[in-house]
């Protein structure tokens, strides 16, 4: 008996209130999954590889029989674990293509008294759905400003007031060569995109959404190209924070971090800084002269930022002059312009 299969959009709508179980192998789950899903693998990585090899060598029947042999001792634990993870009888299950793995697992849970449904087309269909979403038309309004301006903190202040997408927060990276220091490990690209999709899906495409002005790459995560193209054409609210305040912000932000990690970041951009500047920075780090390091590297980033903006002459750039790096004060200034721009 086949488990009821529902379309991706219906599956995702129901996922807000129901347990979502990914029955693929741990290595598949680690590469990418629906945010919030739990992994209860039908086969572990070695078992999955064994069955795949058997399928190619001897065909489907032998692979299915071996699969049943592997799974049979696990059935009770599958039920116990699934019930332990939810107070709701409704459960959603998916595998890679919405085939035998999710159907079998769904049938088992239904037999055990849970109400399981599976996703039509599985994770593959979900990924197609996600990728297609990035190709839709949106109205990004960018928050720009030189490194150290506190743009991420401004976005956090505004998150509960206006539509905001914090790409650096999603990527666990602050964008610069130093951006990974003190941050959680970055997600695999698929997981980054899946998390981005979740935020984008809550956005009204008819209204502006505030997004930090980013290059396409944030660490090793990449903004999906169709959305990034829209960002390239978007207006920029550019906040201009005094240089000295930005230096102080970077010193406070990175001053307690591992010096060796800071040195490695300097080495990563030594070619751009120039050998003498890079050498000075490394020496200053040994001497604890963090303000000198911050000032020199900021000049490099300021130059790169301004160069990028010269290529955006035809874009609308709305400057905000400020004498503080206080994110609360600056967030109010940004919100005022965002609100006014949204009336156009």
Q: What is the mean pLDDT of residues 21-30?
A: 97
How far apart are the C-alpha atoms of 96 and 260, rounded to whole Å? 42
Average pLDDT over residues 13-32: 96
Grade residue 255 by pLDDT with cuts at 50, 70 and 90.
Answer: confident
Residue 92 sits in a domain of what CATH number?
Answer: 3.40.250.10
- Is the same domain home to 173 and 91? no
Half-sphere exposure of 12 (CA within 13 A, CB side): 19
Q: Note whether 222 and 189 are within 8 A (CB).
A: yes
Q: Do 168 and 97 belong together in one domain?
A: no
Number of domains composing the chain:
2
Is residue 57 located within the same domain as residue 144? Answer: no
pLDDT band at residue 81 under the 50/70/90 scheme = very high
pLDDT at 179: 82
Share of the chain above pLDDT 90, in %: 73
Which domain, by its residues, includes 316?
A: 135-341
Q: Which of 19, 34, 95, 269 is catalytic?
A: 95
Q: Do 102 and 152 belong to one domain?
A: no
Q: Which helix (H) or strand (E) holds 290?
A: helix 290-310
Cβ neighbors of 59 (< 8 A, separation 6 or more) are: none
- The mean pLDDT value for 199-208 works out to 93
- pLDDT of amino acid 316: 87
Lowest mean pLDDT among 75-79, 197-201, 267-271: 267-271
Do residues 143 and 125 both lie within one domain? no
- Distance (Å, whole) CA 108 – CA 28: 22
Does residue 118 share a domain with residue 184?
no
290-326 pLDDT, tens digit each? 999 999 999 888 887 776 666 655 578 999 999 999 9
The enclosing domain of 139 has a CATH number of 3.40.50
pTM of the prediction? 0.90
Same domain for 307 and 158:
yes
- Work out the percent of the chain whose per-residue pLDDT is above 70: 97
In sign, the C-alpha dihedral spanning 16, 21, 26, 31 is: negative
Asked whether residue 343 carries a pLDDT value surpassing 80, the answer given is no
Domain boundary among 130, 147, 174: 130
Q: What is the pLDDT of residue 309?
A: 63
- What is the rounded CA–CA span in Å between residue 244 and residue 265? 22
Partnered with residue 236 across adjacent β-strands are 142, 317
Question: 62 is written with which tokens?
Answer: 């032998």
Q: Is the pLDDT of residue 146 over 60?
A: yes
Last-in-domain residue among 109, 130, 151: 130
d(CA 231, CA 221): 16
Q: Does the annotation mark 281 as catalytic?
A: no
- Interval 205-247: pLDDT, tens: 999 999 999 889 999 999 999 999 999 999 999 999 999 999 9
For tokens 């192998």, what's the residue?
Answer: 25
Q: What are the pLDDT digits (tens) for 103-136?
A: 999 999 999 999 999 999 999 999 999 999 999 9
Decide if 210 contacts 165 (C-beta within 8 A).
yes
pLDDT digits (tens, 9 = 90+) for 153-172: 999 999 999 999 999 999 99
Q: What is the mean pLDDT of the chain?
A: 92
């Amino acid at each position: 008996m086949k488990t009821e299969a529902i379309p991706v959009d219906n599956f995702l709508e129901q996922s807000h209130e129901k347990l979502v179980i990914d029955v693929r192998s741990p290595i598949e789950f680690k590469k990418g999954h629906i945010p919030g899903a739990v992994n209860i693998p039908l086969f572990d990585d070695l078992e999955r590889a064994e069955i795949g090899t058997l399928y190619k060598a001897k065909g489907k029947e032998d692979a299915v029989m071996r699969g049943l042999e592997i799974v049979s001792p696990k059935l009770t634990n599958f039920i116990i674990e699934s019930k332990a993870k939810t107070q709701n009888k409704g459960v959603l299950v998916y595998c890679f293509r919405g085939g035998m793995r999710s159907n079998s697992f769904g049938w088992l849970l239904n037999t055990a008294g849970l109400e399981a449904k599976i996703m039509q087309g599985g994770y593959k269909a979900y990924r197609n759905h996600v990728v297609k979403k990035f190709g839709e038309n949106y109205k990004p309004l960018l928050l720009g400003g030189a490194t150290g301006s506190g743009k991420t903190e401004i976005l956090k202040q505004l998150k509960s007031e206006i539509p905001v997408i914090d790409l650096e927060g999603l990527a666990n990276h602050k964008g610069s060569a130093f951006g990974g220091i003190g941050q959680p490990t970055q997600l695999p690209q698929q997981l980054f995109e899946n998390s981005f999709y979740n935020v984008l899906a809550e956005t009204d495409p008819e209204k502006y959404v505030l997004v930090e002005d980013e290059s396409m790459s944030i660490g090793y995560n990449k903004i999906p190209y169709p959305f990034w193209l829209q960002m390239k054409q978007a207006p920029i609210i550019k906040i201009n924070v005094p240089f000295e305040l930005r230096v102080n912000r970077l010193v406070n932000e990175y001053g307690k971090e591992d010096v060796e990690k800071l040195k490695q970041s300097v080495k990563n951009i030594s070619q751009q800084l120039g050998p003498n500047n890079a050498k000075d920075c490394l020496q200053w780090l040994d001497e604890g002269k963090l303000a000198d390091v911050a000032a020199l590297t900021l000049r490099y980033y300021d130059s790169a930022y301004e160069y990028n903006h010269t290529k955006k002459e035809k874009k609308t750039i709305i400057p905000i002059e400020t004498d503080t790096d206080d994110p609360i004060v600056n967030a109010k200034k940004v919100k005022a312009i965002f609100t006014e721009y949204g009336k156009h």
